[in-house]
Copies of this chain bind each other. A is one copy, B any other.
Amino acid sequence: MPAGQHERHTEPFAVRLAAAIRSRRTPACVGLDPRRESLPTVLGAADARDPAAIAACFARFCREVIDVVAPLVPIVKPQLACFEAIGPHGMTALADVITHARSQGLLVLADGKRGDIGSTAEAYAEGWLAGPWACDALTVNPYLGNDSIEPFVRSAEARGAGIFVLVKTSNPGSKDFQDLVCEGRTNFEHVAAGVESLAARTAGTGRYGAVGAVVGATWPKQLDDLRATMPHTWLLVPGFGRQGGRASDVRGAFHADGLGALIVSARDVIFAHARPEMNSGLADHQWQTAVDRACHDMLDRLAADTPAAALRG
């Protein structure tokens, strides 16, 4: 095995994800998006004088968030941009956070929206799914075409990992190119057809494949449609909470048994210390309790208003 390579998982990603969701009885995914200006004041990020000190704050913050949510959710999603933004020290902190999440029994989805061609795509795929970062899954941008996605699929299958391909993103500007009508259907439906084909191919005898799709919580109608046309595809649904998506908006992402979707919340959970409805009665140093409350709140709302209720059944 090359230096820094990790062993293959025994079970495919889709099977491990379903098992983790059943075990925690929720499809919630907590996004790890550390921001210097949003961290609890007791961590001292505002006073950090150099990137190494900021990176240390990020690592400590994420490790403590992980300690709170590890018993509650199946998977966490580090946002690579937040760590990259502070330079090489940030990437060292990210590696530490990933290792800690794995050690606490969480699956780890690296949100990097990577995409490139040929051997460059292979480098990203090997690094994030097999090599030193050793994440369970990675988000991938499809603009470069199906041959740019294949290296990620090959690495994912070889490692027992997964990818989530951007299909219809949560932002208003997703209409600009994703919604263009091309030869009878939208551009994102063309991408979705390719993703479902890869999901079906990699599912083998299983229900879901190694290739999932990203579809924003802000598009309930499209979630309904894509759930129907992508039966073998896990849907990763960002935009729950701050970006305006409600539990009722994401109902369509699920199959009736509560599987088929991962619902992401980041800031609402990890920065819950700044939410009046979550920080009531807490001192600054008790910010982890606000994270715990906000995470439970998210789980309760998903169980109350979506087919994820079946997981508690």
- Report A's interface with B, CB cutoff 8 A: 3-4, 33, 35, 48-51, 53-54, 79, 81-82, 84-92, 94-95, 113-121, 123-124, 126-128, 131-133, 141-148, 166, 169-178, 180-183, 187, 190-191, 194
Contact = CB atoms under 8 A, between A and B. Distances in A.
A33 B120 contact: yes
Nearest to A54: B3
A218 to B, nearest CB: 11
A177 B191 CA distance: 7
Contacts of A191: 177
Copies of this chain assembled into the complex: 2
B87 A4 contact: yes
A31 to B, nearest CB: 10
B141 A115 contact: yes
A177 B145 contact: yes
A177 B172 contact: no
B178 A145 contact: yes
Given A173-B144, A176-B146, A81 B166 contact: no
Contacts of A176: 145-147, 190, 194
A93 to B, nearest CB: 9
A72 to B, nearest CB: 24
B86 A4 contact: yes
B142 A3 contact: no
Contact of A171 (B84, B86, B145, B177): B145
A91 to B, nearest CB: 4
Contact of A187 (B79, B141, B182): B182
Contacts of A116: 81, 113
Contacts of A182: 180-183, 187
Contacts of A141: 113, 115, 141, 143
B173 A147 contact: yes
Contacts of A183: 180-182
Given A54-B3, A85-B131, A132-B51, A187 B194 contact: no
Contacts of A143: 141-143, 166, 169, 177-178
Contact of A177 (B113, B119, B190): B190
A68 B176 CA distance: 43
